[in-house]
Chain A
């Protein structure tokens, strides 16, 4: 099994690298063959990636999210899945040139530094509710990441249109309406998943960590949930749209990443399973 994991840890960055190249060629050269092949290659790589995480689960005998790099590989998979679903829904492969290289970077880092010999004995890590909590949290944050990238694409096209530039961004990106729809749907998906993650986490922690609400990461998740919920409400009720929504989702995601890094550095949390 060790050998199979090592083999996949080498293969996955190569596969994501090639898929990234295909998506870059689709965007910059609009190659019709690559346009058909890129999503299929991504789907194949996702299956390999899911196999990799399955093998890690068998190897560690627990959900593989105890260390940063284990979480990073799970996050990469979630990001790739959320993007592929969005691509299928929208029918345009031209936005993959931003997403797939990001997945490639995350997965390369994860594969380079993942420690197969780490031993963590926690009953909690084997619970199915914990699995649900982790999976929904990762999908939620991936949704926010995807939403932020669509927000960025919206701003890029918006600026091109305002400045009367009709280059490759004008040519390849879908309409502002479509980008705004993807931006909104991904944020809604993220919020829904985060809600589930918070519910599953709370349910599970009632017995194990009775003072779970004192944990900084719990607070961070609640603040993130509240901020995105206010944004979604403003969109529905207050007519927030276009650039306002796009800038908000970008700023929201940047804030989430930075506060996550800050919390990890400055505070102790029961979410760190290596302690």
Chain B
């Protein structure tokens, strides 16, 4: 039957279902995804199709209106990616109807992601929508499905704390900076160490609008390279003393076996800075900053352990938000399925009106009337028809939201008025 929720299908794999080697094999690059979608639409008799493909998941969604099944969708994917049906089928999950809708919404909200609540996945869903529009493979249902998923993802982020709090060491350091300084633009940051961690820290600070960035490193050449990349200012370790009195934020990430910042150095700097707040984040192992620095007034010394504690706390809070997100998903799934069920009523409404209108016009044409009488009869019968149809139309519109009862009501109206059973897929103007 038209617009049966069972026609909403999905097949996919993710980080829980398959190892990384397998996920790599079936990941789609953007252009490849467009080509696959075009082939899939043709292979599935013009059904709406779309695809979400990230490093952690590949999910293929389709709206079946022409008797396609999950098996057809799987066969298509398997052929395209050269998968072994016997060996690889176990790496996939399959959902149909409400569960398929729910799966896309769970993905969009980030509660199905490897890093709970990660914000990038919503962008991936947007890309999936753009890809299906670009390759012209998604009709009114597919587009509505994706648009509702995007709205669901936005609501989850706005109404809950599912995406709040830093989840990486570099972001945790930036979060600490924001908790001390209202605005990073007038502030100076000093990054000591131009290795991988130092680079990440410098990039994050630059992205979050730090005013001035000093990069100190044993090798001035590496400091220069990172400074060029992050629009910073390179300095040698011998200038640390001077740089420290300019800095509001210090991030150290060196592999030095002994501390490079001791309490007397920081005390001297604080005196010059009139004891203003100073954040020091020591990401080095072994530690770069003498622990006595933590006792100096208005100095906030954090290390890798405290940043990890922050990340764990954020994860715990995100987990507590999952039930709230699930409630939002349930609301959006209901809303989408109500709309989808409404597609059943639209053709009946159109056919009923068209059939009675034809009958009305035939009867007027058959009658022997003067032009004035014809005009009057046209007006009277049109008004009468509207009055007669008012109640059945109301019942038809209600039927969209009544599930099985609604379907029975539609059938009854078809029988009473002698309408033909439907054979067309829903059209955009039916909505």
Contact = CB atoms under 8 A, between A and B. Distances in A.
Contact of B298 (A157, A181, A243): A243
Nearest to B300: A161
A162 B300 contact: yes
B331 to A, nearest CB: 15
A244 B300 CA distance: 16
Contacts of B302: 164
Interface in A227-269: 239, 241-244
A63 to B, nearest CB: 40
Interface stretch (A16-24, A120-128, A145-153, A172-180): A172-180
Contact of B181 (A170, A171, A175, A241): A175
Nearest to B297: A243
A175 B279 CA distance: 13
Contacts of B356: none
Given A242-B298, A243-B297, A175 B179 contact: yes
Contact of A32 (B159, B181, B298): B159
Contact of A176 (B161, B179, B313, B317): B179
A87 interface: no
Contact of B310 (A166, A181, A241, A243): A166
Contacts of B355: none
Interface string B289-309: 000001001101010001001
Contacts of B161: 30
Contacts of B165: 171
Interface stretch (B198-206, B226-234, B269-277, B404-412): B269-277
Given A162-B300, A241-B275, A175 B180 contact: yes
Contacts of A242: 275-277, 297-298
Interface string B258-276: 0000000000000000111
Contacts of A167: 313
Nearest to A244: B275
A270 to B, nearest CB: 44
A32 B183 CA distance: 24
A162 B180 contact: no
Contact of B178 (A32, A175, A241, A243): A175
Chain A interface extent, by class: 20 to 34
A162 B181 CA distance: 15
A32 B300 CA distance: 31
Nearest to A176: B180
A176 B161 CA distance: 22
Contact of A164 (B178, B182, B298, B309): B309
Nearest to B295: A162
A242 B314 CA distance: 27
A263 to B, nearest CB: 35
A175 B182 contact: yes
Interface in A30-56: 30, 32
Nearest to A160: B179
Contacts of A166: 309-310, 313-314
A166 B305 CA distance: 13
B180 A161 contact: yes
Nearest to B307: A164
Interface string B156-171: 0011010001000000
A136 B309 CA distance: 48
Interface string B307-330: 001100110010000000000000
A170 B158 CA distance: 20
Given A166-B313, A242-B275, A181 B182 contact: yes
Contacts of B294: 162
29 contacts: A30-B161, A32-B158, A157-B179, A161-B176, A161-B300, A162-B294, A164-B306, A166-B309, A166-B310, A166-B313, A167-B313, A170-B179, A171-B165, A171-B317, A175-B178, A175-B180, A176-B181, A176-B277, A177-B180, A177-B277, A178-B182, A239-B275, A239-B276, A241-B276, A242-B275, A242-B276, A242-B277, A242-B297, A244-B275
Given A161-B300, A178-B182, 12 more contacts: A30-B161, A157-B179, A161-B180, A164-B306, A175-B179, A175-B182, A177-B182, A177-B183, A181-B182, A242-B275, A242-B277, A242-B297
Interface of A: 30, 32, 157, 161-162, 164, 166-167, 170-171, 174-178, 181, 239, 241-244
Interface of B: 158-159, 161, 165, 176, 178-183, 274-277, 294, 297-298, 300, 302, 306, 309-310, 313-314, 317
Interchain residue pairs A-B with the least CB separation, the first 6 = A239-B274, A177-B182, A164-B306, A175-B182, A166-B310, A178-B182
